[in-house]
Chain A
Amino acid sequence: MHVLEIENLHARYGHHEVLKGVTLRVDRGEWFCLLGPNGVGKSTLLHCIAGRLEAASGAVRISGESLATAAAAAKSNLGYAGAPDFLPGLLTGRQCLEVYALAKGLDAIDTEVLELADALRFTPFLDGFVDTYSLGTRQKLCVLLALLGEPELVVLDEAFNGLDPRSALVLKRALHERLSAKRCGILLATHSLDIVEHHADAAALLLDGVIAERWSNDDIERLRALGGDALEAALASAAASV
């Protein structure tokens, strides 16, 4: 089952069209990586999925619910970790979790999320104000907020950027645990080919507002089997051919 379906999505900032007909799907249990150079529209696409930017045309469905016509139902299945800049600097990490849990309509804060906070060594920062956090600590908070309430679609925007290697490993394992139990699907916008190489089930290259190339699980497995810089070479070749 698809946890995310995007069909012919167009989005613009003023007169500048950033997304020019994007179509993609993410299945439950799938780790989907969205690649692309800076400024091609990766974050814009994620903003459209999160409802932060209204699409000019096209459709976004989260777990079958249309973001345009049933926004509340669609968003209740979404966990979105955007840029840490949007976190409220004048609240503490604990307050952020409490408010976000209320906004998601939860009765309690998931024990699993609190355990992950502990594993990420975020707990000592819970009562510190967000504006005193480092980039990595903010990223951890973003991810914890995204995982609240057992979302079926987890959308991560450069979520591993700024994380120390240990925390990145803890997070990757936690995400894999959710994926292997088919509890969610993950869409990750990233520049890190290491994550694609070792963790992704599918990937796509976004260039100039369109999906320029796609790699299925079989394609990625084939590139992995080739070893060396096969994946990087494939990406470079895809980018050059557009």
Chain B
Amino acid sequence: MLVMVLRSVVLRWLAATVVALLASSNAGVTLEQSLTLTALLAAGGVAGAAIGGWLALRSNKTRRESSRYTRRFKSVSSMRPSAAALSRWPIAQALAWARPENSRLLLLVAILTVPAGIGPIAAVGMLASWAIVSYLGALLVAAPLVARAATDWLRSTPISFSAFAWPFARRQLLHQLGGTFVGVGVMVMAGAEPLTATYVGAVWLALVALVTAISLADCYRARSPLAKITLSLVAVLFAEQREHGWGIALAVLLTALYLRGGRRHACA
């Protein structure tokens, strides 16, 4: 392995030297500048090879086969009952959907939406907005699907609704909250009215809370949440269209009712 790394470094360094020497033949570049560049490239190559080799050898020692689609979580040295993994599950699912073969399509669509003639910072801002929106959307879709999988898996245990629901929802709601704050900030920077941007963020968070609550309550009771989610979203959006704030209030009310319904169910 060491021979392979050294061979690769030497070949690259030789290529860089040839380029530097060719450049020195140009009237605008002195030989001294070329040699400095070559020396810097050599030093960088050696340092990079050393760090890369060390990392490769280090990871070989602890390498275990991991999922192709999600990053590895840090393992704890001692095992004890914990719901931490339950709260990471929806996020792991959203990240699994963001695997390269899906993300590249989204990236293509996002790039096509960038209008010609705008500055690089605005373009990067637009792409970042796409990334945030797609992540938050994936997280929202993951809520009912993962809640279903989790309750199916835990069905034979005596886990209570509150012991299941809060750990399950906690981390993804934090991500939604953080993502919404960033999204609102990006909207304001892009020229939206702060009040309008905040309003959009509030509507989004109300919908997230509603979908999560229905998913948790219905999946815990071994029911499919899809019809209820669809009807509730239609009702909330209709109310919001009639009068600003009504939809948000309705979403909060429905969220509380669904959570109460789940809590009253004795056992999954």
Contacts and interface: CB of A to CB of B under 8 A. Distances in A.
Interface of A: 50-52, 54, 71-73, 75-76, 78, 80, 82, 86-92, 94-109, 114, 124-129, 131-132
Interface stretch (B66-74, B176-184, B185-193): B66-74
B150 A132 contact: no
Given A92-B75, A94-B75, A108 B152 contact: no
Given A72-B266, A91-B89, A102-B81, A52 B75 contact: no
Contacts, number: 115
Given A98-B79, A124-B64, A71 B267 contact: yes
A88 B89 contact: yes
B163 interface: yes
B193 to A, nearest CB: 40
A71 B156 contact: no
A86 to B, nearest CB: 5
A98 B157 contact: no
A140 to B, nearest CB: 16
B254 interface: no
Contact of B154 (A76, A98, A100, A132): A100
Given A71-B267, A88-B150, A104-B157, A132 B80 contact: no
B206 interface: no
Contact of A98 (B82, B153, B163): B82
A33 B149 CA distance: 29
Give the size range of B's interface with the partner: 35 or more
A99 B160 CA distance: 13
B157 A90 contact: no
B75 A103 contact: no
A78 B70 contact: no
B81 A86 contact: no
B150 to A, nearest CB: 7
B96 A90 contact: yes
A18 to B, nearest CB: 17
B75 A109 contact: no
Contacts of B79: 94, 97-98, 109, 114
Nearest to B91: A90
Nearest to B153: A86
A233 B144 CA distance: 49
A90 B93 contact: yes
B88 to A, nearest CB: 8
Contacts of B158: 71-73, 75-76, 103-105
Nearest to A79: B156
Contacts of A86: 149, 152-153
Contacts of A114: 79
Given A51-B156, A87-B153, A108 B67 contact: no
Contacts of A128: 64-66
